[in-house]
Amino acid sequence: MRMSHAELFKRALLVVAVALVPVLIWYLFDVILMAFGAIILAMVLRLGAEPFSRWLGIPRSVALIASGLLALAVAGGVGYLFGTLISRELQDVFNRASAAKQIIQAKMHGSELGQLFLSRMTQKNFSITGIIEKFFPVSTGFLGALLVLVISAIYLAAQPELYRQGLIKLFPPGCTPKLPKKSMISEIRSGSG
């Protein structure tokens, strides 16, 4: 049985759509990651707010604020405790890297091949500060994404039912296509299509 041009076109579109899904996931990975992070953070905020609301009898909005402040205090405490240790270790790494750079340069100046290599590196403007400059745009992008994640989580935690209903309106259960009993994939597997 021969396929019509319309059926062939539909199958080609299906193949293209299936092939584009991984590409879209790759390009939208940051957005997907922020969405999942916001959902998880919202769940943690609501979970932390429940004991305040239940045991103290305070309104849910105040309990969410208390939960957020408690989470911020815990994150700040952990950052303070480990931050001082990490900053000392990072300073030690920078000191050792600087000393190692001087030792390597001194040894490279002692050989012809080393001098040739050093002259090539200076022509390309290779420097540690260039690497550090590239690090800062990445860290500012991370901080921006973290800010969006936290704000999204606060909104999700404050009104979860609103966003749940919005998601249902976006993808209504009755409008999603249902595959027939004998789907296109089963036809392809059996070779009858």
**How many Cα atoms occupy the beta-carbon half-sphere of 128 within 13 Å?**
7
pTM score, whole prediction: 0.57
Nearest to 157 by CA among 71, 33, 73, 28: 71
Q: Determine the average pLDDT of the residues in 11-28.
A: 87
Q: What is the pLDDT of residues 117-161, one digit of tens each?
A: 777 666 555 565 566 666 667 677 778 888 888 899 989 888 888
179 SS3 class = coil
Burial class (CB in 10 A: 0-12, 13-18, 19+), 108: middle
Q: What is the pLDDT of residues 58-97, one digit of tens each?
A: 998 899 999 999 999 998 999 888 888 888 888 888 888 8
Q: Kindly report the number of other CB atoms within 10 A of residue 163's CB atom.
A: 16
* Greater model confidence, 177 or 80: 80
Query: Which 8-state DSSP code applies to residue 176?
Result: S
Q: Please measure the distance between the N-terminal and C-terminal CA atoms of the chain and give it in whole angstroms.
A: 8
- Total number of residues shown for the chain: 193
CA-derived radius of gyration, the chain: 28
Report the Cα 90 to chain-centroid distance in Å: 25
One-letter amino acid of 105: Q
Burial class (CB in 10 A: 0-12, 13-18, 19+), 132: exposed
Share the mean pLDDT of the chain: 81
Q: Determine the average pLDDT of the residues in 159-186.
A: 75
Q: Determine the average pLDDT of the residues in 20-28.
A: 85
* Greater model confidence, 17 or 138: 17
